[in-house]
């Protein structure tokens, strides 16, 4: 996904998130930011992350505190505290979301352009 709002999600809990992933920062896109009434946004990630021996490529984020709104990310300097959910699959309950992580939401810069064949290799 390349249209919509590009976001940076810094995972702060669980504290050992980086042990299974190369960074505590996740980058992705959402189209939900246009709906001001939405309390939660679904984010399609640029790359998967690993959590509890499973890989995920999308998350659901919501404000961490009552009365907060994710749209504050446009006015925030450091970030907005969020809850982070991953997809669950169950034969009994069906598919859903499970809030298992916390973090900070901020706007992300555009992704770097893909390398071209003419680019010199770094040595």
> Which residue range(s) make up the domain with 92?
5-107
In a domain? residue 114: no
Q: What pLDDT, on the 0 to 100 scale, is given for residue 119?
A: 62
Helix (H) or strand (E) holding 19: helix 17-20
| Average confidence (pLDDT) per 10 residues, the chain, 123 residues | 79 89 91 70 91 89 88 82 87 77 89 73 58
Q: How is residue 4 written in tokens?
A: 């919509």
In a domain? residue 48: yes
Domain count, the chain: 1
> DSSP secondary-structure letter at 118?
T
pLDDT tens for 63-79 read 999 888 888 888 877 88
In a domain? residue 112: no
Q: What pLDDT, on the 0 to 100 scale, is given for residue 120?
A: 64
Q: What pLDDT, on the 0 to 100 scale, is given for residue 45?
A: 92
> pTM for this structure?
0.79
Closest CA to 99 of 115, 86, 89, 109: 86
In a domain? residue 39: yes
In a domain? residue 117: no
Q: What pLDDT, on the 0 to 100 scale, is given for residue 103?
A: 94
Q: What pLDDT, on the 0 to 100 scale, is given for residue 72?
A: 81
């Amino acid at each position: 996904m390349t249209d919509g709002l590009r976001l940076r999600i810094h995972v702060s809990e669980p504290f050992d998130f980086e042990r299974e992933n190369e960074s505590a920062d996740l980058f992705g896109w959402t189209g939900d930011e246009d709906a001001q009434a939405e309390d939660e946004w679904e984010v399609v990630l640029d790359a998967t992350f690993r959590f509890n021996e499973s890989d995920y490529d999308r998350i659901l984020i919501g404000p961490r505190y009552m009365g907060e709104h994710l749209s504050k990310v446009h006015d925030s300097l450091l970030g907005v505290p969020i809850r982070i959910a991953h997809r669950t699959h169950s034969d009994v309950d069906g598919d859903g979301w499970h809030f298992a992580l916390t973090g900070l939401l901020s706007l992300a810069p555009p992704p770097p352009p893909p390398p071209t064949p003419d680019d010199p290799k770094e040595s």
